Chain A
Amino acid sequence: IFVFFIISVISCIHSRTHVNYEIKGDVAVIRMNDPSVNTLSVQMQREMTEVMDEVWGNSAVQSVVLISSKPGSFIAGADLNMIQACTTAEEVTLLSQEGQKMFEKIEKSPKPIVAAINGSCLGGGLEFAIACQYRIATKSKKTVLGCPEVMLGLLPGAGGTQRLPKMLGLPSAFDMVLTGRSIRPDKAKKMGLVHQLVDTLGPGLKSPEERTIEYLEEVAVEAARGLAKKQIPLTKEKGLMQKIQDHVMSYPFVRQQIYNTVQKKVMKQTKGLYPAPLKIIECVKAGLEQGPTAGYLAESQNFGKLAMTPESKALIGLYHGQVTCKKNRFGTPEKEVKALAVLGAGLMGAGIAQVSVDKGIHTILKDTTLEGLSRGEQQVYKGLNDKTKKKSITTFERDSFLSNLTGQLDYNGFNKADMVIEAVFEDLSIKHKVLKEVEAVIPPHCIFATNTSALPIKDIAAVSKRPEKVIGMHYFSPVDKMQLLEIITTDKTSKDTTASAVAVGLKQGKVIIVVGDGPGFYTTRCLAPMLAEAVRVLQEGVDPKKLDSLTTGFGFPVGAATLADEVGIDVAAHVAEDLGKAFGSRFGGGNIEFLKSMVDKGFKGRKSGKGCYIYQPGLKRRDVNTEALEILESYKLTPNAAISSDSDIQYRLVSRFVNEAVLCLQEGILANPVEGDIGAVFGLGFPPCLGGPFRFVDSFGADKLVEKMRKFEEVFGNQFTPCQLLLDHAKDPSKKFHK
């Protein structure tokens, strides 16, 4: 019988695939290890409940340690598929309530539970951890704590909105839940989110990762024992500041004031386009003002409601898209790029150098003048030095990154380059000259990438001796901040060249779309008609500030007038002219002559200090450039009242953008709608709450969009003619870009 018992225990352990446990003296160590990154899936929750029941029922166990066997992740969050599989809000609410119940049992555990955190502890993982009695985290760079739900249009639905305010105080809790920001271990300790920190270990008798987890477990087991024996107190003596804060917060009118302030701030930032933050405030308020029962109920119900919103579906779609665009669908390149050369130390060139040297790529930054080179090297230095001020890297790391950078005026060392990225002036003849010069000095395997925002790559490659090694890499400014990289392949670009460019981009931390060649590729081509429309709107007498508020009111993070200033009026004029030639009247709208007059006056946008607005260093407030308005006077158009309401203007701007995006898919410039959405959101600031142009068509309805465009088409003609693919979708509502 005894043997049987043992066998049944063993088989019981083996039947579980996600959670197992071991009894160490009087401490039960529960280890999570699912086939991926530890998500709170149905399976994980079922096994966890089983294990917890066994542990609670085992009288030999006095305390519990909860730990992950994975080096990079404690629990990465709830299983999104579980939520996406639901078809009604009620189903999702039920999921939330199950989670709430499970964590309530954890919170009320008679045996203290220590969460031993190494790696990401996010979303549902964080909610699990804060339900435990004690938290120990490693100082690993991979260890982050946070509630990213809001970024997916959701809220922490398993007690997070209820426990965090009590644990951290209202201001910190709101900050954490509303921004979704990831919190590093040292900050988490300071905030009181974790009790104890454990250092990461270096080489020993096992690999550093393995031994660090073991060490964390040893420390956690000791802490669990201490807690069970009451040698470690569960509640920490509060500091003076904390006591004062608690006292102040005990007044209802103070809390009310905070709710109001936070609400206002959220409305200002989201323009009311994102429901999740508002619902989060509602849940926190319900819990604190009406008690836990009301709070938990509000949390689960709002969680259900949010999961059904188009905003959440859009944001989750972007999340999945981003994961897809962080993979190299072209495979591993034959040769890894270890030595890079960047031509042109301007804003773009230096930016590309910066995101390369800090990833360990040896980078030559070449310019033609000492002044240009010096400015570029300073930009790289400043970019990295600013990171030391934010303490994301040390000054020592900064120095060692900078040692990867070689600034020079000649082609010395290009014979050892694996890839050259040129970021010289956007002029075909200059690009040709540079390509020929470079091809004369680089080794045969070296890739020539061109950073252009509009010139067709095949035109640039026309003078190349080896067009299979030529590719477009369109970075966005500022390179160190913008996540997107648009890679452009020509018919002649080899697959290995593409694989290599994607690999470099991924190493630089970019989200990547790979598109076909053509004037303006994908991103610039979508932006150009929208900016042409924006110029027309300005000509119709709409103030730049009004234009900005109409665009941001639609969900664009940057208004159209400001965007033109950021891109540069000269660049916009240049691109409008080039693309106008390529695509004809469809790209018309605003008068290019207006842009040219602006450039003639020196109003080139932010970089020149004046554009649609006046920019003064050190001043955040911007005034409209009245001289620009004067120029506008001479290009004045009379608006047609039938299509000039605020909403009409918004749809005039957006529909041209969206139609062009769909046309790019139709023409095969885009490989799929996912990359189209990612490119538009991450490169051009298309409203994230809409999920990108393709998801927007799906959720708004192609038929409704076509209807609007037809109305505009009557007045403006072919600029608003819907493309065939859009018409197909309008005709058949079952056709969707995203399943």
Chain B
Amino acid sequence: IKKTLAKPGVKNIVLVDGVRTPFLQSGTIYADLMPHDLARAALQGLLNRTGLPKDAVDYIVYGTVIQEVKTSNVAREAALGAGFSDKTPAHTVTMACISSNQAMTTAVGLIAAGQCDAVVAGGVEFMSDVPIRHSRRMRKTMLSLNKAKTLGARLSLLGSIRLAHLAPELPAVAEFSTAETMGHSADRLAAAFGVSRLEQDEFALRSHTLAKKAQDSGLLSDVISFKVPGKDIVSKDNGIRPSTMEQMAKLKPAFIKPHGTVTAANSSFLTDGASAVLIMSEEKALAMGYKPKAYLRDFVYVSQDPKDQLLLGPTYATPKVLEKSGLTLNDIDVFEFHEAFAGQIMANLKAMESDWFAQTYMGRKTKVGAPPMEKFNSWGGSLSLGHPFAATGCRLVTTVAHRLQKEGGQYGLVAACAAGGQGHAMVIEAYPQ
């Protein structure tokens, strides 16, 4: 057994447990819910799974990306609905696809600073319904209408409305700074690293195949069952669909036409889902009689050029967090990387394998190396399980803990990219069995 990563004078912080709702393709069974419904289901699931007394929680942090304006602090709405004490404060964070990673590290910070002992963190994303707004001109007219005092003023405002003002504004999965959609950027990234369509399709197929195997053999134990009002009980992810290379080869490129390589089949799909984890100081967990699953150790956030390096977060974050922990890539037993696009994963693996890239763009002497594939996302990933933006982070961490238990390793590494050209990585250590 390798050494523990505990540091003198630093509080040991543990993951007690983690759960998630089934991740469903958006527009399917969850279609009529609201985001806080999903978040509430995850929170209740966590309470059931851990048997945690509701008033033992000091604080709740939740991540979300596309905000429902009615529940902008979705953490609070979900917590109240899930029956947590109304004396437990809750706040919501957002950092694109690493929002729940941010929720978890916020929790770690609160505990490390000695302000809390038990924090629930999580994330929710609900893509079946997104805020579609009136145009700016129309909103301006409507707001002025509120202030108009006379009938004449109101009529004249109404009269100023033109057909064009009625065109709605749709949210796009696009960078604000560059106006480029993420899929487009992923396709360019794949091309920059010379990732072929074949490589991407193969990786996507691998993800689906491994996920199916994990689902069938009951490894995805973080999934809780959820009775959807008016519908059946849901207990399985519904996006896992291993296809054949031939079928996948038939698809046309989704973003860059006609010569692009990113397709619907090798990209993660729009997903609804929520996740939640219970994070505690080791002391408190043991005092409450819990057997923690893992230690949450060092973590880093990185950011780079949002145009040409939008999705390279893992490449930048991995060597940094390893260095912080005094580990090398070889020390890691379990890798869980967020799979936004197969092309993005392959590009990151190639970048991590390149001395030239490390030297030219990262100011490092040598490459960090690419993870061995047998340790990499072996229970599937975002491509197959689904990717509810803000819920993915907790899934990655919980999966690492479960894989370490199952596979008997000691260290796990989580890494993810996020919109805005940001990234995150965390080292997780198995809790002695």
Give chain A's interface residues, CB within 8 Å of chain B: 196, 198-206, 208, 211, 215, 219, 222-223, 394, 396
Contact between B193 and A204, CB atoms less than 8 A apart: yes
Contact call B176/A203, Cβ cutoff below 8 A:
no
Q: Any chain A CB within 8 A of the CB of B309?
A: yes
A582 → chain B closest CB, angstroms:
54
Please give, as numbers and ranges, the residues of chain B lying within 8 Å of A203 by CB-CB distance: 192, 308-309, 357, 360-361
Which one of A204, A222, A396 contacts B192 once the chains associate, using CB atoms below 8 Å? A204
A-binding residues in B (CB < 8 A) = 176-179, 184, 187-189, 191-194, 256, 258-259, 305, 307-309, 347, 350-351, 354, 356-357, 360-361
Q: Are the C-beta atoms of B176 and A202 separated by less than 8 Å?
A: no
The answer to whether B191 and A215 touch across the interface, beta carbons within 8 angstroms, is: yes
A202's contact among B309, B354, B356, B360, by CB below 8 Å, is which? Answer: B309
Contact A202 B308 (CB under 8 A): yes
- Rounded to whole angstroms, the CA-CA distance of A394 and B307 in the bound complex is 13
**Bound Cα distance A205, B356 (Å):** 7
Q: How far is the CB of B223 from chain A (nearest CB, A)?
A: 37
CA distance A196 to B253 in the complex (A): 15
Tell me how far the C-beta of A67 lies from the nearest C-beta in chain B, rounded to whole angstroms. Answer: 15
CA distance A135 to B300 in the complex (A): 46
Most central of B192, B193, B256, B307 by chain A CB within 10 Å: B192
Closest B residue to A204 using CB positions: B192
A-B contact pairs, 15 of them (CB 8 A): A196-B259, A198-B259, A199-B184, A199-B256, A201-B308, A202-B192, A203-B192, A203-B357, A203-B361, A205-B194, A205-B350, A205-B351, A205-B354, A211-B191, A223-B259
Decide yes or no: A199 and B188 within 8 Å by CB, A205-B350, A205-B354, A396-B178 being known contacts: yes
Is the CB–CB distance between B357 and A202 below 8 Å?
no
Taking A211-B192, A215-B191 as contacts, is the C-beta distance between A202 and B305 under 8 angstroms?
yes
A663 to B361, CA, bound (A): 56
CA distance A508 to B256 in the complex (A): 35
Which residues of the partner chain B approach A215 to less than 8 Å between Cβ atoms? 191-192
State the CA gap A208–B357 with chains docked (Å): 12
Q: Which residues from B are CB-within-8-Å of A206?
A: 356
**Chain B minimum-CB-distance residue to A396:** B177
Most A-side CB within 10 Å, residue of B194, B259, B357, B361 = B259
Closest residue on chain A to residue B360 by CB atoms: A203
Given the known A-B contacts A202-B309, A205-B354, are A196 and B192 also in contact in the complex, defined by CB atoms under 8 Å?
no
Query: Which of B176, B188, B259, B356 interacts with A201 by CB under 8 Å?
Result: B188
Known: A205-B356, A215-B191, A223-B259. 6 other contacts (CB 8 A): A200-B188, A201-B191, A201-B192, A204-B189, A205-B351, A205-B354
Residues of A within 8 A of B256 (CB): 199
Residues of the A chain whose Cβ atoms lie less than 8 Å from the Cβ of B356: 205-206
Residues of A near B184 (CB, < 8 A) are: 199
Which of A203, A204, A223 has the most B CB atoms < 10 Å from its CB?
Answer: A204
Q: Is the CB of A205 within 8 A of B193?
A: yes
For the complex, what is the distance from the CA of A122 to the CA of B357, rounded to whole Å? Answer: 35
Docked complex Cα distance between A211 and B190 (Å): 12
**Cα distance, A200 to B189, chains bound together (Å):** 10
Per the bound structure, the CA–CA distance linking A205 and B192 in Å amounts to 7
Q: Name, among A199, A200, A219, A223, the residue most crowded by chain B CB atoms within 10 Å (CB to CB).
A: A199
Q: Chain B contacts of A204 at CB under 8 A?
A: 189, 191-194, 347, 350-351, 357
Question: A393 to nearest B CB, angstroms?
Answer: 12
Bound-complex Cα distance A202 to B306 (A): 11
CB distance from A661 to the nearest CB of B (A): 48
**With known contacts A219-B259, A222-B259, A396-B178, A205–B188 Cβ distance under 8 A:** no
- Hey, which chain B residues are within 8 Å of A201, CB to CB? 188, 191-192, 308
CB neighbours (8 Å) of A202 from chain B are 188-189, 192, 305, 307-309
**Using Cβ atoms and an 8 Å threshold, which residues of chain A touch B191?**
199, 201, 204, 211, 215
Smallest Cβ-Cβ distance to A198: which chain B residue? B259
Chain B residues within 8 Å of A208, by CB: 192, 308
- Distance in angstroms from B310 CB to nearest chain A CB is 9
Within the complex, what minimum Cβ distance (angstroms) separates B254 from chain A? 14
* Minimum Cβ distance to chain B for residue A223 (Å): 8
Chain A: which residue is nearest B308 at the CB level?
A: A202
The residue in chain A whose Cβ has the minimal distance to the Cβ of B179 is: A394
The 10 closest A-B pairs by CB, nearest first: A202-B308, A204-B192, A201-B192, A204-B193, A396-B177, A219-B259, A199-B188, A215-B191, A203-B361, A202-B192
CA of A76 to CA of B354 in the docked complex: distance in angstroms?
Answer: 35
Of A196, A202, A394, A396, most B-chain CB atoms within 10 Å: A202
Q: Once the chains are docked, how many angstroms separate the CA of A198 from the CA of B194?
A: 15
Shortest B278–chain A CB gap in Å is 40
CB neighbours (8 Å) of B357 from chain A are 203-205
Give the complex CA separation of A219 and B257 in angstroms: 11
Chain A residues within an 8 Å CB radius of B350: 204-205
B309 proximity list for chain A (CB < 8 A): 202-203
Residues of B within 8 A of A394 (CB): 178-179
* Residues in B neighbouring A199, C-beta threshold 8 A: 184, 187-188, 191, 256
Question: In the bound complex, what is the Cα–Cα distance between A483 and B347 (angstroms)?
Answer: 44
| Contact present for A396 and B259 (CB under 8 Å) | no
Residue of A205, A211, A223 ringed by the most chain B CB atoms within 10 A = A205
In the assembly, what is the distance between CA of A206 and CA of B307, in Å? 17
In the bound assembly, the distance between CA atoms of A202 and B356 in angstroms comes to 14
Q: Name the A residues within 8 Å of B308 (CB-CB).
A: 201-203, 208
By a CB distance below 8 angstroms, the chain A residues around B351 are 204-205
Q: Could you tell me the distance between the alpha carbons of A215 and B261 in the complex, rounded to whole angstroms?
A: 12
* CB nearest neighbor in A for B350: A205
Q: How far is the CB of A403 from chain B (nearest CB, A)?
A: 13
Expressed in whole angstroms, the minimum distance between the Cβ of A199 and any Cβ of chain B is 5
Q: Which residue of B lies closest to A219 (CB)?
A: B259
